[in-house]
Structure 1
Amino acid sequence: MDNSLFPLTEEHIRFFDQHGYLIVRSFFSPEDATKLQQWAQEVHDLPRDGDVAWMPYEEVNAQGKSVLCRTENFANSHAGFNDILRGKRILDILQRLGGEEMLLFKEKINYKLAGSGGFAPHIDANAYTHVKNISHLTILAAVDGMTIENGGLEVVDGSHRMEVPLGTDRCIEASWVAAQKWTPCDLTSGDILVFGSYLAHRSGANTSSKDRRAIYATYNRASEGDLHDQYYEDRKKLWPPTHMRADDEVILAALLHDIGQIIPLDQSKEVKMKLDNSTQNVGRVGHETIGAEYLRALGFSDKVCRLVGSHVAAKRYLTAVDRSYHDSLSSASQKSLQFQGGPFRGDELQAFKEDPLRDQMVALRLWDDRAKVEGIEDATPRAMTYLDMMANHLSSGQ
């Protein structure tokens, strides 16, 4: 790989400052671009099981098959990519554009398969606040050619200097999106695109007949510290690779475990729920049972419904076997425990211990406890992320 310094000009730097992005044509030679393609395939083919350092993510395609869509955290495990992404050729151009030394923060390869969808308009500035509020630059290296047809990137010229309104889903508000001129950033293999934290960008679906790959490497200022390993330690806990996650039914139960708190009373009656002492709303009493029955009527599996209905049972079990768990509860939760039957004893305790779903019920309860942390929402995927999983679950008739 050519690791000589790229001849960045003052015109390049002025363009980047004014527009918020910079396309560098033929940053990688044809020979080096071929190596990128080879190495991207090597990362694609890495094992996707066990406690591996790299982080592969899968999605379900239109045919209902699980396919690899992204691999992250591979630089530490692949010498070629490590030399490039932490090499002087890239670091020098970033230092000149950013004004100070930069360090690799995160890296991923997106495998945008033919027919796969795109990414809604967004900025990256609010994506990593669970680690630290960082100022970062991203390099997009085209492994394969990128066009509008195959879901290439589009940007809003100069948007890094604008006030870009974000919705509750952390994407850009639709009215702003519609009012802007979006500039396609077509790239050929070996080109790179450099952009910063506040540039509005999006990508469409890959409507071509061919898959295409792109490397995204994000860098933070060296003055902020080397955050790479910390970022991936946190990400592995918050959004683990597909093969390390709970199964879909457990994930859906975690997503929907409190749905009984927000069901309108008329809908709860429609699914023939028996509500005691409730004339206006369901409140908090029995919300786990209400939620489970509501989901059952919609066609969710018995496992999902049992897990949703286990919230209080898991609490009663944990307080029975772990005094420190009882002490960790809020005063309100300790008080409500008395009305929920108190810690399990005798036959109830034994029955819960022998339940095949015991460990998953307990995990669900503990995940909910850990989610009550200020700022955790910044690192939590939005509900729409789970739409395909939910649709596949309901259509499978599990």
Structure 2
Amino acid sequence: MNTERPVPSASVRQWHRDGFLHLTDSLDPAVCEALSDWSDEVAGSDDERFLQHREMTDDGPVLARSEHFATIHPGFGSLVGDGVIARLGEQLIGEPIVLYKEKINHKLPGGAGFAPHQDATAYRFVGTHLTCMVAIDDSTIENGCLEVVAGCHHELLVDDGDGCLPASAERALKWQPVEMRAGDVLWFHSRTPHRSGSNTSTRSRRALFLTFNAAAEGDLRSAYYADKINRLHHHTGAERARVSTIGHFLGRSADDATDQSSTSNNTGASTMTDDHATASLSPDRVPWMQLRTAADVASAITDLYERKGASNYDEAVTQLAHALQCGNLAMESGATSATIVAAFLHDIGHLLVDEHDSNGDFLARDLHHEEVGARFLANWFGPEVTEPIRLHVAAKRFLCATDSSYHDGLSAASVRSLEVQGGPMTDDEVAAFRANEGFETAVDLRRWDDGAKLSDASTPSLDTFGTFIESLASVSATLR
């Protein structure tokens, strides 16, 4: 990317008004040149971890879509991994985001278009999401550019039962084509109605689509793909090619022209067996939406700490050691079970947005890990757990303003983070903080947080806190 320049406030307002935002000159020229080569490499790869979907054209079967390559292909991995694209999206929706899915729609000459739809109907596991489209080739009306509807992203419209807008709704909307030059970026909300025509030109209209969800809803990418493969398997042999969990793709099925027993690169994801899906795409991250019992919640959360907690929190302790120490200090203080769980989980937001000391952004910018963690945990816990977590950063600012000796006792990491978190509170902020019900618990948690940074502290086991978590977790039908 060219720079880390902020999205202008006028552009953010346009995003909120229209539900989409077309940005030019956002990618480094070297990246723009590389996108075409990277796309060719993905298209020609025989790596069975890639999902390749084909369609039938008048000239024979061609590749329609490629998926699941961001963690495999080094070029696309670097584009996603540097975080610049995600940080642009965070400015639009106002909270940290993580990658949910990625795809290249190749739309080769003769390739089919997409019926009018809203992406949100296909993303049943997350509630806050947006997509970044990066034009790999010039995108024109002739080769099937995207068409969008402005100001229609605040709710889901009634669909036809398979995720597409009925003809009556399509006719009632005002469609706007978005022609793009290679390297242009188009952000659009997942409830923004969009469609595209077929490619009637002799040139490809390849485009990269990166879809993100709010980090507070969890990292669901691997679980999404495992679920998608299993669902698409049941559509094998249909007249229309199936590239999604909704029926918006207008391409003809290529099943008759392919060997059903060949690899995913030749047949597409719809012909994979369930065993293949399990072998190739076993989720390496917790499928949070599949948790069914309090024991599942406890196991998944402790597993998260086992996998990600080994990264350092600061110079002295790992994130897991910090959590264990903080929870132990709450136990030694005679705190309630809810407060003990809050103390142990207070920094889970760091794990969810992958903040740690080897990440250059850690403590350098405020990702509001307290808000991410509290919102995420609200799926299973009440305010007696989530509110102290939500307020524990504010409690540090409160103490810096009201206790003259407190600041001097902060660790170097806490001093650095205080700067990006807003510094000591003003008098008005102090009064507003005191008005929060239970603010005293957040202050207690803050002091335990500050004391939980010893290199050789003795603590209870992770399983001990798993038992506390299980005793308090309540499982509902869907994630918030």
Whether TM-score is above 0.5 comes out as yes
Q: Given residue 165 of structure 1, which amino acid in structure 2 is its aligned partner?
A: V
Distance 2:37 2:198 in 1: 24
**Residue equivalent to 1:269:** none
Which secondary structure state, in structure 1, belongs to the residue aligned with residue 206 of structure 2?
strand
Please tell me whether the aligned partners of residues 54 and 73 of structure 1 are also in contact (alpha carbons under 8 angstroms): yes
Out of 168, 189, 196, which is 2:161 matched to? Answer: 168
Out of 133, 137, 154, which is 2:130 matched to? Answer: 137
Q: Offset at 1:66?
A: 2.2
Cα pair distance change 1:382/1:117, threshold 3 Å = closer
Please tell me whether the aligned partners of residues 6 and 93 of structure 1 are also in contact (alpha carbons under 8 angstroms): no
Q: Deviations over 1:128-161 (max 9, x none)?
A: 21xx143211000000010111100000111113
**Residue equivalent to 1:200:** 193
Distance 1:99 1:17 in 2: 11
Distance 1:382 1:95 in 2: 30
Structure 1 residues 1-398: aligned runs within 5 Å: 2=1, 4-47=3-46, 52-63=48-59, 65-129=60-124, 132-161=125-154, 164-239=157-232, 251=237, 380=245, 382=247, 388=253
Please tell me whether the aligned partners of residues 231 and 245 of structure 2 are also in contact (alpha carbons under 8 angstroms): yes
Q: Given residue 21 of structure 2, which amino acid in structure 1 is its aligned partner?
A: L
Q: Offset at 1:164?
A: 2.5
Distance 2:3 2:253 in 1: 45
Please tell me whether the aligned partners of residues 117 and 193 of structure 2 are also in contact (alpha carbons under 8 angstroms): yes
Distance 2:78 2:137 in 1: 20
Distance 1:230 1:124 in 2: 18
**Greater shift in the superposed pair: 179-188 or 221-230:** 179-188
**Residue equivalent to 2:328:** none
Distance 1:93 1:390 in 2: 39
Q: Given residue 81 of structure 1, which amino acid in structure 2 is its aligned partner?
A: F
Cα pair distance change 1:61/1:11, threshold 3 Å = same
Cα pair distance change 1:198/1:252, threshold 3 Å = closer
Distance 2:115 2:135 in 1: 20
Distance 1:202 1:381 in 2: 13
Cα pair distance change 1:204/1:31, threshold 3 Å = same
Please tell me whether the aligned partners of residues 3 and 88 of structure 1 are also in contact (alpha carbons under 8 angstroms): no
Q: Offset at 1:13?
A: 0.4
Q: Given residue 140 of structure 2, which amino acid in structure 1 is its aligned partner?
A: T
Cα pair distance change 1:384/1:163, threshold 3 Å = closer
Distance 2:154 2:106 in 1: 31
Distance 1:109 1:39 in 2: 11
Which secondary structure state, in structure 2, belongs to the residue aligned with residue 77 of structure 1?
coil
The count of aligned residue pairs is 255
Q: Offset at 1:23?
A: 0.5
Please tell me whether the aligned partners of residues 102 and 209 of structure 2 are also in contact (alpha carbons under 8 angstroms): yes
Q: Offset at 1:383?
A: 11
Please tell me whether the aligned partners of residues 68 and 111 of structure 1 are also in contact (alpha carbons under 8 angstroms): yes
Which ranges of structure 2 fall in alignment gaps of 5 or more residues?
259-480
Q: Deviations over 1:305-338 (max 9, x none)?
A: xxxxxxxxxxxxxxxxxxxxxxxxxxxxxxxxxx
Q: Deviations over 1:234-261 (max 9, x none)?
A: 1222225xxxx99x6xx369x9xxxxxx
Distance 2:251 2:182 in 1: 33
Cα pair distance change 1:40/1:386, threshold 3 Å = closer
Cα pair distance change 1:166/1:44, threshold 3 Å = same
Distance 1:92 1:109 in 2: 21
Q: Offset at 1:210?
A: 1.2
Please tell me whether the aligned partners of residues 86 and 104 of structure 1 are also in contact (alpha carbons under 8 angstroms): no
Please tell me whether the aligned partners of residues 3 and 89 of structure 1 are also in contact (alpha carbons under 8 angstroms): no
Distance 2:106 2:252 in 1: 20
Distance 1:252 1:118 in 2: 17
Which secondary structure state, in structure 2, belongs to the residue aligned with residue 108 of structure 1?
strand
Q: Percent identity?
A: 36
Q: Offset at 1:37?
A: 1.3
Please tell me whether the aligned partners of residues 72 and 109 of structure 1 are also in contact (alpha carbons under 8 angstroms): yes
Distance 1:91 1:384 in 2: 27
RMSD: 2.8
Which secondary structure state, in structure 1, belongs to the residue aligned with residue 105 of structure 2?
strand
Q: Offset at 1:169?
A: 2.8
Please tell me whether the aligned partners of residues 2 and 27 of structure 2 are also in contact (alpha carbons under 8 angstroms): no
**Residue equivalent to 1:349:** none
Q: Given residue 94 of structure 2, which amino acid in structure 1 is its aligned partner?
A: G
Which ranges of structure 1 fall in alignment gaps of 5 or more residues?
256-378, 394-398
Q: Offset at 1:392?
A: 8.2
